[in-house]
Structure 1
Amino acid sequence: MFKSILVPIDLADTALARRAIETAATLARTYDGKVRLLHVISITPVVLAEYVPADFDDQQRGDAEVALAEVARESGIEPERLSTAVRQGGIYHEIIEEVGAIKADLIVMSSHRPAMRSYFLGSNAGHVVRYAPCSVLVVRDDK
């Protein structure tokens, strides 16, 4: 049923992603599928570009790849079922692009409980749910 599962992760809050990773691992084992952990790096705003080192984007990507590899090691998912990717751009746009790239049939993502500002501004999870070409499972934190 779910052969290719995408799990977007915010490396600034890996604790929030834990339940999504556990859920994806269980589904992958159940359906003999694979899991892709994805982190999206935001684009450096132009107004800040002159204040950061020339290789800032490369440093960010390298740091993200190392951190994501650590999350993967700690995930408990068998290495043959697991891959990672780091993309740069708009968060929900890059998640949707990755779905197409790996032909994902499920996205499992974490989300905080909605606050009033989410209803007006929207959230990345909300955008993904609305525009994803595949099923989306949003795992809430316990708080």
Structure 2
Amino acid sequence: MRFSNIIVAVDVHDANNGQAALARAAAIAGDDGQLHLIYVRYYLPTRYSALIVENFDQQERDEAMATMKTWCARLGIDPKSVDIETRRGRVRDEVLSAAQRHGADLIVIGSHQPSLSSKLLGSNASAIVQQSPVSVLVVRASAG
């Protein structure tokens, strides 16, 4: 099966696994596929609004976008050929929504090695795998 419309879900604070996922997705998509790179920012309750600087949301979004564009360039992927976005909310919900919105046939997730606590409590990758209507590939950076 050839995948051609791929959601790549990354955490911009986990460069190794994020870049590994992006590289793997680009290899799968080849020259004809479409990549949709997404980073989901943590939901901030409105009660925190008085505690953060006025332009925090825009600054956080801009930094995430710049990081993802840098990763593309570093991997030899033209950032203009990738649909890059950030969302704010629950990772599982936003990634699955993006997959539906873009008509994706594969979700690629960069994920760290699970710890005991994440095995007990669940992780974003696990939730996406369990609820996704399309194939999901979980990519981890090599340990070497």
> TM-score when scaled to structure 2?
0.88
Distance 1:114-1:34 versus aligned 2 partners, 3 A rule:
same
Q: CA deviation at 1:64?
A: 1.7
1:13 alignment counterpart: 14
Read off the aligned partner of 1:10 and give its amino acid letter. Answer: D
Matches for 1:132-143 after TM superposition, within 5 Å:
132-143=132-143
Where do 4+ consecutive residues of structure 1 move more than 3 Å? 78-81
> Contact 1:96 / 1:132 at 8 angstroms: preserved in 2?
yes
Name which of structure 1's ranges 98-107 and 53-62 shifts more when overlaid on structure 2.
53-62
> Contact 2:10 / 2:18 at 8 angstroms: preserved in 1?
yes
| Residue segments in structure 2 that go unaligned for 5+ positions in a row | none
Q: CA deviation at 1:79?
A: 4.9
Map Cα deviations across residues 22-44 of structure 1 (whole Å, 9 max, x no partner).
111111117x2111111111122
Alignment RMSD: 1.8
| 1:118 matches 2:118 | yes
Q: Tell me the number of residue pairs that the alignment of Structure 1 and Structure 2 aligns.
A: 142
Matches for 1:85-124 after TM superposition, within 5 Å:
85-124=85-124
Q: Distance in 1 between matches of 2:115 and 2:80?
A: 38
Secondary structure of the 2:23 match is: helix
Name which of structure 1's ranges 54-63 and 128-137 shifts more when overlaid on structure 2.
54-63
| Residue segments in structure 1 that go unaligned for 5+ positions in a row | none
Q: Distance in 1 between matches of 2:96 and 2:38?
A: 11
> Contact 1:37 / 1:72 at 8 angstroms: preserved in 2?
no
2:57 alignment counterpart: 57
2:24 alignment counterpart: 23
> Contact 1:72 / 1:84 at 8 angstroms: preserved in 2?
no
